[in-house]
Amino acid sequence: MAPSLLDLAPVVPVVVIDDASDAVPLARALVAGGLPAIEVTLRTPAALDAIRAIAGDVPGAVVGAGTVLTPAQVTRAVGAGARFLVSPGWTDVLLEAMRASGVPFLPGVSTTSEVVALLERGVREMKFFPAQAAGGTAYLRSLAGPLPQARFCPTGGIGIESAPEYLSLPNVGCVGGSWMLPADAVAARDWGRIEELARGAAGLSAGGTCR
């Protein structure tokens, strides 16, 4: 069985790409720093071209699509080479499209009822979003007792300082974040700095179920 997306690395970089020509060198820097799972958000016109470029030209990268909101986006993202899908929330229509895609997916949740509803539908791995605003580590810790079968990738407001506390929780496999991609470094195409920051993220202590 293929490893879970939640177990590939302690941190999944959440990437917004405005210029598709930056995609390959940026992804190479992240992979060299030890972060192979890369979520390219579908927030810009360049996103699908970026996914396509990374999928074709960066060995070792496991590129996925984030901010997936519609079945059409599921189809386009997988067609571009996305190997996983992440949504900020879910509906039954979107969930079935992601399930039918044949690639791993993390539907977003922020409430206990949403978690229970996904468990009822056979989904045990989820994105917890927006993590900090939705209750942070205290909320996730509270879910671990009654819902131990659910595992999460918290994303939203997480930085290098708060990531270790999330990773210490038994129901957290990894976290999503963008602190290893500061805007000034991306604008300057300082891939060396991004690789260094990625290496620091990859070395974070992960507790319990993550590596």
Give catalytic residue positions: 39, 127
Element (H, E) at 190: none
| DSSP designation for 178 | -
CA nearest to 183, candidates 46, 3, 18:
18
| Residue pair 197/180 in contact by the 8 Å Cβ criterion | yes
d(CA 83, CA 104): 7
d(CA 40, CA 63): 7
Beta strands in the chain (DSSP E): 11-15, 37-41, 62-66, 85-86, 105-106, 108-109, 125-128, 151-154, 175-177
Pairing relation of β-strands 62-66 and 37-41?
parallel
d(CA 115, CA 15): 25
Cite the DSSP H helix spans in 33-86: 47-57, 71-80
